[in-house]
Amino acid sequence: MKWIKTHCSRMDHGGCGILVGVENNRIESIKPDPEGFLNHGFICPKGVHGAEKLYHPKRLKEPLVRVGERGEGKWREISWKEALLLISKRFIAVKDKFGARAVAFCQGMPKGMEHFVLIRLANLFGSPNVVATQDVCHAPREITGLHTCGFYPVADLHSRPPLVVLWGSNITATNEEGEISTLLTEAMKKGTRIILVDPRKTALADKALMVLQLRPGTDLALALGFLKVIIDEKLYDQGFVDKWAYGFDALSRHLEGFSLDAASEITGVEAQLIRAAARVYAVTKPAAIQVGNAIEHHPSTFDSARSIISLMALCGNLDTAGGNIAPDEPDILGLGKFVKADQLPSKPKEMIGFAHKTIPRLMTVPPAYFRSAVIGGRPYPVKAAYMQCTNPLVTYAESPMTREALNALDFLVVSDGFMTPTASFADIVLPAAFNFEFNDIGHYGLGHGYILARPKAVDPPGNCRSDISILNELGKMMTDAANWYDDPDLLLEEVLKPAGMTFKDFSEAGFLKGRQRYRKYEAKGFKTPTGKVELLLSTAEKYGLAPLPEIPAMQTPEADFPLIMTSAKSPYYLHSSYRWVDCLREREPYPFVEINTETAVSLGLKDKDEVIIETRHGKITQKARITDRIRPDVVCASYGWWFPEGDASAQFEWKKANYNMLTSASHVGKEFGTPLLKGIPCRISRK
C-alpha cells in the first residue's frame, strides 16, 4: 500500500493532516498524520471514514438531464459535452434577456478552492449574485470584525492562552474552521482553563472552570452583561482604552440603561456567575474567545458579534499572542485578484443584498434575499441558478420557501456527489468528484493565516469531475476564455506563484503559513476610519447602522410554545451530508431531540420515544434523547436530516425530520440577512 500525505476535507471545514493508504487506485485506509500542523496526530470518526463516501454504489457518476416533471426523479444520462453546452446556452439566454444578474451562483459551506473559482466565474460572467450560507456562518463574526477593528479576530489557540472562552462553539464536535480541538485539549493538559457559554453541558463541560448555561438566543444580553461588569468594576485595560478605543464613554453611558440583573433575567444565568466569568476573562492575560455559530444564528448577530469584539478590545486581547489575532497570510495570490473582482466593479451596488441594505463588505447574497428575488422578483428577477456543494432544501431556514424558489426557477443546475432533496429538483445534475480525487488547496480565503495542501490520491470514478474543472470548462464557454486554462490545476498554481512554489512543492511542504506578528496596530493603527477599535461605529450614519449594540428586552415565554428549541451540529455528519455513508449512519441512525430529564417526566416521555416538535412555522418528528446536560426549558433538536434511503420522487422525505421546517426566514437581521435558528419557542408531544 502506498501512503499519501494530504489533509482531510469535506467532512467539516477540514484541517487534520492525514495519511491515506492507496492500493490499486482505491483508498483502503486513513490514519492521522502525527506531523499534522493543526491536529498533531488526532483524527475524528468522520475523518477515519472520510473515503467511504467515494465508494457508495449510488454515487452519481454521469451527468443527468431531467426528463419527467420537476422533482419527479426521472433522469436521462448525458455526456459532459451535452451537459456543459446546455448549461452555457441556457445561462447565456437568461443573461441576454434579463441581464447576467438573473443568474445566481450558489455555494454552501466552502469546501475548498471551488468556492473561489465559482466567484471568479460569476464575476467574469457579470453576475454580482453569489449566494452563500454566510448569513449564518462566519460573515457575522468576520465582517463585524472588519467594521469594528479592521480584521477578523481569530482565537489564537496555537499560543496556548491561559484562558479560552468557548462562546457557543462546540469545538470537540465541530473542530470549527481548522480550530482543531487538539490544539485546545493539549493546552488544557498544560493548564489552560475554559469557560463555556452554551445551553448544553458539552463534552468539555466537566473540565470547565465555569459553564454559563444560557437560554438560547440571549448571547447579546450576556455579552452586554460582561461589558457592564468590566466597565463598572474598571477591569478594562486602561492604557489600551485610552489610546485605541473609539467611543468608550458612549458605550459606558449606553450601558447605564442596562443592569446585570437584567442580563441575568434575560439569559437565565445567575448574576453572580456572569460577574465571576467576566472578572476571570478580564484579569486573565491573555485570554481568547472562540466564537461559534450560536451567535450567528440570531437576527441580532451583528450586535452580539461587536459586543464580543468589544470585550476582546477592552481587555487588551486583540492581536495579542494567545488572544484574538489578525493572522498574517502567507505570500500567496490575494483573493480579490484570484476571483477577478476588478472585472465587476459594479458588484457591491448591483448585488441583491444592496437593495436590502446589507452591511458593506458582505460580498455574498443571503439566502433569504436570494429566494425573495426568485419568488417575488424583488429587487429584480432571478431566473436561473447554479448550485454546488449545497443542499438548500435542508440547510436554508424555512424549507418550504426554498421549495417554492427551486420550483420558480426557469433553470437549475446542481453539482453534487449524491442525489439530494435539492438535486432532485434540478434540470441538470452534475456528478462531482469528492476530495481525494483531485488536487485542492484548503483554507484559502478563510482568514486563518495558512493554507493546506490536499493533493489527489485516487482517480474519480465513472465520469465524475471536480467542481474546479467543471467551472473551468464553463468559464471557457461562457466568459472570456483567456481567464481559464487547459489544465484546471493551473488555477491552483496561480494562487501559489507569489510564494515561488509549485503545487508539487506545496504538497511536499504540506502547508504554508504567514509569519505571525502581533500588535500590528501599534505601528499602523487599526484599519478602521478612526484608526481605533470602534466600540461606537463611526460609519453608522453613512451605512444606516446603529452606532451601538441595541439593549435587548426580556422575551416572555409563549403559552402555546413553552420550550425553547435550539440545535447543534452532529459530530458524525456534516450539515445535511453523508446520512448515506453507512458507517456514519450506524453511529447516529436517526434524528433525536435532547430533552432534560425533568421536562421529559412532565411530558410523560421516555428515551427513544418518537416525538412531534412543533413551532409556529411547522412540525417534524424526531426521537427523544433524555439527558441532564441541557437546561430544563430548552430542547436541542438534530439538524440536517433527510432520508437517502427514501425516494427521489418524494425528495427523500425532506419534510419529516428537517429542522428547517421549523424555522422562518421572514424576519432576518438586516446586516447579514440572518434568520433565527437557535432560540425558537416550541412544544413537544409524544407521537
Ligand X SMILES: Nc1nc2c(c(=O)[nH]1)N[C@H]1C(S)=C(S)[C@@H](COP(=O)(O)OP(=O)(O)OC[C@H]3O[C@@H](n4cnc5c(=O)[nH]c(N)nc54)[C@H](O)[C@@H]3O)O[C@H]1N2
| C-alpha gyration radius of the chain | 24
Contact 161, 323 (CB under 8 A): yes
Which CB, 11 or 291, lies closer to ligand SF4? 11
State the binding string over 274-293 for ligand X (x if CB under 6 A, else -): ------------------xx
| Residue 465 lies near ligand SF4 (rule: CB under 6 A) | no
**To 10 degrees, what angle do helices 219-232 and 301-314 make?**
30
CB count within 10 Å of CB 39 equals 25
| Residue 10 lies near ligand X (rule: CB under 6 A) | yes
Q: Of 64, 131, 368, 389, which one interacts with ligand X (CB under 6 A)?
A: 389
Please give the residue whose beta carbon sits closest to ligand SF4 in the complex: 47
CA angle in degrees (0–180, nearest 5) for 491-492-494: 65
Q: State how beta strands 287-291 and 130-132 pair.
A: unpaired
Instruction: With contacts defined by CB under 5 A, name the span among 18-26, 39-47, 55-63, 133-141 that binds Mo ion.
Output: 133-141
- DSSP label at residue 38: T
Supply the DSSP string of 316-331, one letter for each residue: T-BTSTTSEE-PPPPS
Q: Hey, CA dihedral for 367, 307, 314, 210, is it positive or negative?
A: negative
Instruction: With contacts defined by CB under 6 A, name the span among 40-48, 274-282, 371-379, 459-467 that binds ligand SF4.
Output: 40-48
Q: What's the distance, CA 60 to chain centroid?
A: 25
Site for ligand X in 428-457 (CB under 6 A): 432, 434
Q: What's the distance, CA 38 to chain centroid?
A: 19
Torsion-angle region of 194 (φ positive above 0: left; ψ -120 to 50: alpha; else: beta):
beta
Instruction: From the list ligand X, Mo ion, ligand SF4, none, pick the one residue 566 interacts with, judged by a Cβ distance below 5 to 8 Å according to partner type.
Output: ligand X
- Grid cell, residue 486, equals 487547459
Alpha-carbon distance of 558 to 555, in angstroms, equals 9
Q: CB of 44: closest distance to ligand SF4 in angstroms?
A: 3
Instruction: From the list ligand SF4, Mo ion, ligand X, none, pick the one residue 202 interacts with, judged by a Cβ distance below 5 to 8 Å according to partner type.
Output: ligand X
CB count within 10 Å of CB 285 equals 15
Contact 663, 566 (CB under 8 A): no
Instruction: With contacts defined by CB under 6 A, name the span among 62-70, 195-203, 280-288, 603-611 that binds ligand X.
Output: 195-203
State the binding string over 170-189 for ligand X (x if CB under 6 A, else -): x--xxxx-------------
**Backbone phi, psi, residue 217, to 5°:** 85, 10
| Residue 674 lies near ligand X (rule: CB under 6 A) | no
Which CB, 415 or 528, lies closer to ligand X? 415
Instruction: From the list Mo ion, ligand X, ligand SF4, none, pick the one residue 47 interacts with, judged by a Cβ distance below 5 to 8 Å according to partner type.
Output: ligand SF4
Q: CB of 571: closest distance to Mo ion in angstroms?
A: 15
Which CB, 175 or 567, lies closer to ligand SF4? 175
Which residues, other chains included, contact 283 with Cβ-Cβ below 8 Å and sequence gap of 6+? Answer: 235
| Residue 677 lies near ligand X (rule: CB under 6 A) | yes
Largest interatomic CA distance in the chain: 69
Which CB, 51 or 536, lies closer to ligand X? 51
CB count within 10 Å of CB 407 equals 13
Alpha-carbon distance of 625 to 636, in angstroms, equals 9
| Residue 629 lies near ligand X (rule: CB under 6 A) | no
Site for ligand X in 395-414 (CB under 6 A): 395
Instruction: With contacts defined by CB under 6 A, name the span among 43-51, 227-235, 373-381, 576-584 that binds ligand SF4.
Output: 43-51
CA dihedral (470, 476, 482, 483) in degrees, to 10, reads: -40
Q: Of 39, 663, 664, 674, which one interacts with ligand X (CB under 6 A)?
A: 663
CB count within 10 Å of CB 93 equals 15
Alpha-carbon distance of 100 to 95, in angstroms, equals 4
Please give the residue whose beta carbon sits closest to ligand X in the complex: 108
Site for ligand X in 346-385 (CB under 6 A): none
Which CB, 372 or 663, lies closer to ligand X? 663
First-to-final CA distance of the chain: 51
| Residue 46 lies near ligand SF4 (rule: CB under 6 A) | yes
Instruction: From the list Mo ion, ligand X, ligand SF4, none, pick the one residue 219 interacts with, judged by a Cβ distance below 5 to 8 Å according to partner type.
Output: ligand X
Q: Of 107, 169, 170, 175, which one interacts with ligand SF4 (CB under 6 A)?
A: 175
| Residue 90 lies near ligand X (rule: CB under 6 A) | no
Instruction: With contacts defined by CB under 6 A, name the span among 38-46, 269-277, 344-352, 538-546 that binds ligand SF4.
Output: 38-46
Instruction: From the list Mo ion, ligand X, ligand SF4, none, pick the one residue 16 interacts with, judged by a Cβ distance below 5 to 8 Å according to partner type.
Output: ligand SF4
State the binding string over 574-613 for ligand X (x if CB under 6 A, else -): xxxx------------------------------------
Instruction: From the list ligand SF4, Mo ion, ligand X, none, pick the one residue 14 interacts with, judged by a Cβ distance below 5 to 8 Å according to partner type.
Output: ligand SF4
Alpha-carbon distance of 59 to 74, in angstroms, equals 16
Residue 402: beta bridge partners?
Answer: none
| Residue 295 lies near Mo ion (rule: CB under 5 A) | no
Site for Mo ion in 75-114 (CB under 5 A): 109
Q: Of 60, 102, 137, 251, which one interacts with Mo ion (CB under 5 A)?
A: 137
HEC profile of 248-310: HHHHHHHHCCCCHHHHHHHHCCCHHHHHHHHHHHHHCCCEEEEECHHHHCCCCHHHHHHHHHH
| Residue 564 lies near Mo ion (rule: CB under 5 A) | no
Which CB, 187 or 537, lies closer to ligand X? 187
Alpha-carbon distance of 278 to 284, in angstroms, equals 10
Q: Of 33, 142, 179, 219, which one interacts with ligand X (CB under 6 A)?
A: 219
| Residue 14 lies near ligand SF4 (rule: CB under 6 A) | yes
Q: Of 179, 427, 467, 473, which one interacts with ligand X (CB under 6 A)?
A: 467
Contact 589, 580 (CB under 8 A): no
For 645-660, give one letter per residue: b (16+ CB within 10 A) or e.
eeebeebbbbbbbbbb
Q: Of 6, 27, 33, 43, which one interacts with ligand SF4 (CB under 6 A)?
A: 43
| Residue 111 lies near ligand X (rule: CB under 6 A) | yes
Task: Single out the residue of 557, 561, 556, 566 nearest to residue 630, CA to CA.
Answer: 566
Instruction: With contacts defined by CB under 6 A, name the span among 132-140, 155-163, 454-462, 620-628 that binds ligand X.
Output: 132-140
Binding footprint of ligand SF4 on the chain (CB under 6 A): 8, 11-12, 14-16, 39, 43-44, 46-47, 175, 180
Residues of this chain that bind Mo ion (CB under 5 A):
109, 137
- Applying CB under 6 A, the residues found at the interface with ligand X are 10, 12-13, 108-109, 111, 133, 136-137, 167-170, 173-176, 197-200, 202, 214, 216-217, 219, 292-294, 388-392, 395, 415-418, 420, 432, 434, 467, 566-571, 573-577, 636, 639, 659-660, 663, 677-679
